[in-house]
Amino acid sequence: MTTLNGASLLQFVGEIQDRQQFRDLHWTGSFESYLDLVAQNPQITRNAFQRVYDMIVSHGIEEFIDAKKRLFLYKFFSDDSLGRDDAIFGLEITLMRLVNFFKSAAQGYGTEKRVLLLHGPVGSAKSTIVRRIKRGLEKYTRTPEGALYTYDWFMGEIADFDAGNVKETDWEPCPMHEEPLHLIPLELRGRFLERFNQDCPPHEQVKIEGNLCPACRYNYRDLMRRYEGDWSQVVRHIRIRRLVFTEQDRIGIGTFQPKDEKNQDSTELTGDINYRKIAIYGSDSDPRSFSFDGEFNIANRGIIEFIEMLKLDVAFLYDLLGASQEHKIKSKKFAQTDIDEVIVGHTNEPEYRRLENNEFMEALKDRTVRIDVPYITRLRDEIRIYERDFNPRRVRVHIAPHTLEVAAMWAVLTRLEEPKKPNLTLLQKLKLYNGKSLPGFTEDNIKELRKEAKREGMEGISPRYIQDKISNALVGYQEEGYINPFMVLTELETGLKNHSLITNEEERRHYRDLLAIVREEYTEIVKNEVQRAISADEEAIKRLCANYIDNIKAYTQRERVRNKYTGQYEEPDERLMRSIEEKIDIPESRKDDFRREIMNYIGALAIEGKTFDYRTNERLHKALELKLFEDQKDSIKLTSLVSRVIDKDTQEKIDVVKSRLMRDFGYNEQSATDVLNYVASIFARGDTRPA
């Protein structure tokens, strides 16, 4: 074991520190230096929407087809480098709409003048999406590609500056982290940009939008008077510095949360008078007596999040009208101030319905782009949510295979609408959505199913409820050493009695019925696993497959089969062939077609110089396993587990099956034993229907 002490740890921290990065992030320079930077890289002057869009795209885009629909997967939302806890799964269409909003706004097509409102049921990842964008911006502004700059004022004598007699505290930062190009006078901007952009392609041309904030306008006017209008002398008092967003320090990222009506104050958004400084400067309309530190002020050039936006008092919502449409805010006692920031809010359905019914809020509704964020309706993505929170890195208790799967299955079933097709069950619909193919259903059918279920994903059980109940099971069954699907399903059912969002008994009964469906499905899953573990003898399957292929070859070519034991030629073994084909529901009328399909497939492989492998044909593989299971289950005497009277030979065979369950399916000793006991009890009851 390595001995560590304070000195060695201190040295280690010093060695791994990236001091060059620190210097890069704290770069300072003159206004002239900044213009050189802009000439080299015009992107540093991007607006907030352009910066967010570029940040998302910088993580990569993956194109894929889902139900014949061309979709884009933006890797930003699941990139591990931004933290696994906020990774978002299964919302590709929602996230595509979100990115399209930013893309349109970045290109100036109008959505930059709108409030982005994420709308959906509780626990559907609305906050997570915004949180990820905020975390992404923090990281992006620390990279060379995401660099942006702001400026500080020195209001002392320039002689002190030239002599180097300036302390850090003498610099007065712009309270709204403004773009330094705002310092170029309005009346000169046209000619400046014409000169600056003359050799730039259209997509790289620099724009200057907005004006100085009240505090900077005051300093600017003061210095212009001091130098009798000589702007070149004024900018000598300017220090340009690198700007890095950080929510904790309230730089570039703002968050506003509703409070009770008595404590709500609009100055939290737009800043407030600093009464202590009124005594110094003599007026509450002097910018020096005002703190421009509201959420709108500090989020300038970045993003502001409104948590549960529609719970805000109406007076606050009015502030959003100018902030979104005109990109201006009104601080007390000052003229309107320009802002450049993304405004994102999120809300749930009841609150949004209240907005829709409020005729006095037409202006806000007209300035809002709503994006629905539904619950996940694809099983594999729902499972990933729980695997992220409950995995061996975080949880010491063993979680038996399929525990998270059955919880996710029930959650998704509660969100799906009953299919209108009479021959389709809700469970089959879930499997179709999850990518499983079912006879008689094409991709067009799946597309039609999604289209007809307009409210799908907007109701049902949230992931939070599932996570809470899995946590309860982990704590409640800690002494057992592991949890299994039945323990979690029991927790889920028990919790329904006190679920605050279930409003009527009929809904509660429906959810219980779905739990019964999930239990049945789980039973079929574990029966199948035990069957596969029993028939997992590769050599036995190969021999059975070779025997079957020899027989169907002779059958299709109207030949006889040579018995390798007697050497005699016999008719193809119809009983053997049918015993295998019946395991996968091949009817008597279809047996010839199925056998020809197999032989044609083998022939096609032979032409390519390849050898047939039964594992490449999923249906045949399953049929062979089930046939072998039927042949072997009696010799193993699985049902004897129930009676607890097991001879040595049977115990050895059961131990082999148990070790296969542990090796191939992820069980531990205890959970494998319990699964075998459970499946044994099913066979003891005579339920031998193949999974």
Average pLDDT of the chain? 87
Residues 38-62: what's their mean pLDDT? Answer: 95
Residues 395-416: what's their mean pLDDT? Answer: 94
Per-residue buried b or exposed e for 437-452, using 16+ beta carbons within 10 Å of the residue's own CB: eeeebeeeebeebbee
Q: Are 280 and 322 in contact (CB under 8 A)?
A: no
Residues 43-55: what's their mean pLDDT? Answer: 96
pLDDT(422) > 90: no
Give bridge partners of residue 243 from the DSSP assignment.
148
pLDDT(11) > 80: no
Return d(Cα 185, Cα 192) in angstroms, integer. Answer: 10
pLDDT of residue 690: 42
pLDDT(180) > 80: yes
pLDDT bracket for residue 116 (50, 70, 90): very high
Q: Are 158 and 496 in contact (CB under 8 A)?
A: no
Tokens in use for 416?
A: 């799906």
pLDDT bracket for residue 317 (50, 70, 90): confident
Angle ∠(516,520,526) on CA atoms, nearest 5:
140
Residues 6+ apart with CB under 8 A from 585: none
pLDDT(129) > 80: yes
Return d(Cα 78, Cα 64) in angstroms, integer. Answer: 16
Per-residue pLDDT tens for 448-475? 888 888 889 999 999 999 999 999 999 9
Q: What is the DSSP letter of 251?
A: B
> Of 294, 299, 287, 268, which is closest to residue 333 (Cα–Cα)?
287
**Highest mean pLDDT: which range of 34-38, 439-443, 523-527:** 34-38
pLDDT(260) > 70: no
pLDDT of residue 102: 97
pLDDT of residue 691: 41
Tokens in use for 560?
A: 């006889």
Per-residue pLDDT tens for 492-525? 999 998 887 888 889 999 999 999 999 999 998 9
How far CA 465 is from CA of 12, 475, 504, 513, 630, in Å, comes to: 43, 16, 18, 18, 41
pLDDT of residue 31: 95
Tokens in use for 44?
A: 């540093």
Residues 434-453: what's their mean pLDDT? Answer: 82
Per-residue pLDDT tens for 571-580? 888 988 998 8
Q: Phi, psi (5° rounding) for residue 677?
A: -60, -40
- Higher-confidence position of 84 and 150: 150
pLDDT of residue 263: 63
pTM exceeding the 0.85 threshold for the entire prediction: no
Number of CB atoms found within 10 A of residue 144's CB = 8
Per-residue pLDDT tens for 346-402? 998 888 888 888 777 788 888 899 999 999 999 999 999 999 889 888 888 899 999
Q: Are 626 and 587 in contact (CB under 8 A)?
A: no
pLDDT(295) > 90: yes
pLDDT bracket for residue 35 (50, 70, 90): very high
Q: What is the DSSP string of 135-153?
A: HHHHHHTTSSTT-EEEEEE
Per-residue pLDDT tens for 591-617? 998 888 888 888 888 888 888 887 777
Per-residue pLDDT tens for 523-532? 989 988 887 7
Q: Is 442 left (phi over 0), alpha (psi -120 to 50) or beta?
A: beta
Q: Name the percent of the chain lying above pLDDT 90.
A: 47
Residues 6+ apart with CB under 8 A from 423: 440
Least confident of 127-131, 524-528, 564-568: 564-568
Return d(Cα 518, Cα 15) in angstroms, integer. Answer: 54
pLDDT(637) > 50: yes
Residues 6+ apart with CB under 8 A from 639: 680, 683, 684
How far CA 522 is from CA of 344, 377, 689, in Å, comes to: 42, 19, 14
Residues 39-57: what's their mean pLDDT? Answer: 95
pLDDT(563) > 80: no
Q: At which residue do the structure tokens 């008077």 appear?
A: 225
Return d(Cα 574, Cα 591) in angstroms, integer. Answer: 11
Per-residue pLDDT tens for 188-221? 999 999 999 998 888 889 999 999 999 999 999 9
Q: What is the DSSP letter of 287?
A: G
Number of helices (H), then strands (E), belonging to the chain: the values are: 30, 19
Parallel/antiparallel/unpaired status of strands 28-29 and 368-372: unpaired
pLDDT of residue 314: 73
